[in-house]
Amino acid sequence: MFNRKYTFIDLFSGCGGLSEGFYRLGFKALAHVEINHWACETLRKRMAYYGYKNICQEVIEKDITSDNILTYIDEAVSGREVDVIIGGPPCQAYSTAGRVRDSKGMASDPRNFLFESYVKILEYYRPKFFVFENVTGLLSAKVNGKLIMPSIMKALGHLYKVTDNPEVLVHNTADYGVPQIRKRVIIMGVRKDIKNKDVLDLYRDVIKTHWNPETEEINRKGRHKFISVQQAIGDLPVVEPGEDASTLTFNYPCNNSFLKRIGKAGIHPLMDHIARKHNDLDRERFSVMIKNRWSFGQLRKAMPQYEHEHARVFDNSYVVQWWDLPSKTILAHIHKDGFQFIHPDGKQARSFTVREAARIQSFPDDFEFAGSRGEKYKQIGNAVPPLFAEALAKSIKKNLKDITHDI
């Protein structure tokens, strides 16, 4: 009889959004590998929350390309069996936005080949399954004129059954109860010697629970309507630009299905609900856009007095996230100014707070981020939404049970 917790290693962990989904399904973390100090501090806080004792060893704050990285991971794993490896290399080298900004299309970016470190560790531990997450730009990213995706699939497919079908690989997190349109590539694999399990079984068991605004009517049957910005952050206290509404005694209502999944009703601390300062002109822009339900492009055309003085400003430089829709994709860029994540309340006329951004990413209300406000925004923008990670973990757990029930 199989009587231990299923285990995982998280590579390129970030602040632990992917790990959070696996924690919630009862998995045990053996090691996290992450190079960013503040993300590692966040990982340590969350591991302590879940009662881990050997945190210093199990959060490995190292460059994953280091020659001795396997030594550090081995020390953390301590001979225990690894059931699944999760994670994904930094997405900036693969993102279409990054390639547009870089004159060489990110071709010389060393991060293009960080997948090789993932594969090295995968082939060393040979877990039963793996989960590899990245941006959809991965499908079209090129290095020296050649698509990188075939190289990644060939490397991952050496010991694992995989699929390169984009219709299978691309997932929208809004379909899993996350209040955000966020499309990501999920590559999963089944070790080739596991004969009674196909990789498509893993994808089949990632269950879509919601439909999003782009979902065709025929595919909405049996699913819940998307989670809106209103449902995600509408209960949080009003906070004016420059003010701090964080408190030790916030009375959480948990009055909808989303809030019940990420928090608990009653009086608990409210962390990181601090609003940025904005100048008067920007606040006027926000208010007029919200009042008329305009894009920034419509504002510029209808009221030229609100045109921006900087030349490199585009119609999407300011974006209101509307109450009745899911948010657009939360990006790490939110740490710079937040103008693409304007709160839909015209009276507040400001960008999202850290806690609001965390809510949009489906982080639990008791999730504590380490570092400055800017560092927290970056961690949140780079993370996998925990509720989406939970859907992936459910599939992995179900399929692990299928192959281990007789052990």
Query: How far, in Å, CA of 73 to CA of 18, rounded?
Result: 18
Both tokens of 32, joined, read 């996290």
Q: How confident is the model over 280-301, as a mean pLDDT? A: 96
Q: Confidence class of residue 144 from pLDDT cuts 50, 70 and 90?
A: confident
> Is 91 one of the annotated active-site residues of the chain?
yes
CA 85 and chain centroid, separation: 17
Both tokens of 137, joined, read 């730009």
pLDDT(1) > 60: no
Query: How far, in Å, CA of 337 to CA of 351, rounded?
Result: 8
Q: For residue 71, what are the contacts with CB-CB under 8 A and spacing of at least 6?
A: none
Q: How confident is the model over 130-143, as a mean pLDDT? A: 94
Q: For residue 251, what are the contacts with CB-CB under 8 A and spacing of at least 6?
A: 266, 267
Q: Confidence class of residue 104 from pLDDT cuts 50, 70 and 90?
A: low
Q: Confidence class of residue 102 from pLDDT cuts 50, 70 and 90?
A: very low
pTM value is 0.94
Which of 309 and 71 is assigned the larger pLDDT? Answer: 71
Q: Which domains does the chain have, with CATH numbers?
A: 7-219+384-404 (3.40.50.150), 229-382 (3.90.120.10)
* Percent of the chain whose predicted confidence (pLDDT) is above 70: 93
Catalytically annotated residue among 15, 40, 56, 91: 91
Give the DSSP H or E segment for 232: helix 229-233
User: How distant, in Å, are the alpha carbons of 77, 80, 216, 385 from that of 380?
Assistant: 27, 31, 30, 9
Average pLDDT in the chain: 93
In the prediction, which pLDDT does 313 show? 79
